[in-house]
Amino acid sequence: MRAEFPILSQQVNGHPLSYLDNGATTQKPQRVIDTLRRYYESDNANIHRGLHSLSERATRDCDKARETIRSFINASDQREIIFVRGTTEALNLVAQSYARPRLQADDEILITTLEHHSNIVPWQLVCRQTGAKLRVAPIHDSGELDLEALKGMLGPRTRVVALTHVSNALGTVNPVADIIEMARAQGAITVLDGAQAVAHGAIDVQDLNCDFYAFSGHKVYGPTGIGVLFGRKCLLEEMEPWQGGGDMIRTVSFEESTWNELPYRFEAGTPNIAGIIGLGAAIEFMASIDMDAVVAHEKDLLAYATEALDGLSNIRIIGTARHKAGILSFVMDGVHPHDIGTIADQHGVAIRAGHHCAMPLMKRYRVPATSRASLALYNDRKDIDALVTSLQKTKEIFRL
């Protein structure tokens, strides 16, 4: 698959590129790049309102992308697929359009210690606006959720359970199906942050039985600035629009306005047309791959990387859950993660260094930041070997 991604053929600082920052963004296969170029060269026009050929072609391709995504995550209806800028906007949409009008003082929203800031801050805002309370389920030292504690925190005041499917900072794969069942037994709706999950295994929203599922295009080999919110149709139909403007309306007068049908009610203004079409191409690419093979490949690579880092002194892996996706966070005693990242880059290795938009989780582990290597289907053992070489060089420089 590596040959499908032209950016990976380059050298960085005199070394072959080993791109291990896929948790931040994935690279794009040639077919996605070609699709974006073709749209801008041949079909660039606004959608839905034009009667000319360019608009009709662009509209057709956007509609096709929506159906491709619906099929990929097995939503029951195209109207359940809402295009947004990314996971962050999707979660804010649910918080403001679904939760805010329904929550009252002392209602509860339950999240977990593993959350990305995008699944913390929107709920904090809603709590300020409504008087609801934000509760946080703890984790074990391994990075696994404390399911007994979470179950004990669910109660008759729980209205929303929002959690990550896969932790972006640790790689922990949460048992979301079990948690959804627990939440449903209490009458709570469930919101899943799927940003780190969609590229690493098959997603079936009907099988999960979740109410909302959000993910970003750029983390599933698609363009930036585009994402998807899946919402159960019966819930979306009850929700008021979050943003007003063109295409989300049916009628407008100075006295009142009425709303368009789903999904357009939540897609105000000119959308990221190229992004939608490019995401459709990325999902077609994903659908053409044996996802079981991807899972097996990344599992093997994660085991190889874990063993390699375990063999280095002064390095401690943060997050050792039994079920992990291809994310490896670690710290090196006496060396700041930014220095590790800088030296890795000198060896052509791209990793992430920082708090990974998970500051409360870093606080839980009493570290300011970690270094993070995150895997994709185009990575191989040579990438891990290059990372290890850069870490050995780091130890030499810092005389460890």
SS (HEC) of 61-72? HHHHHHHHHHHH
Across-strand partners of 372?
329, 352
Task: Using alpha carbons, select from 339, 370, 341 the residue that is nearest to residue 357.
Answer: 370
Q: Report the distance separating Cα 94 and Cα 99, nearest Å.
A: 6
Instruction: Spot the catalytic one: 62, 127, 210, 357.
Output: 357
Active site residue 62: no
Say which residues have a Cβ less than 8 Å from residue 254's Cβ, sequence separation at least 6: none
Helix or strand holding residue 163 (H, E) = strand 158-164
Contact by Cβ (8 Å): 115, 125: no
| Integer angstrom CA distances of residue 87 from 70, 215, 218, 226, 398 | 16, 5, 10, 9, 39
The length of the chain is 400
- Catalytically active residues, by annotation: 357
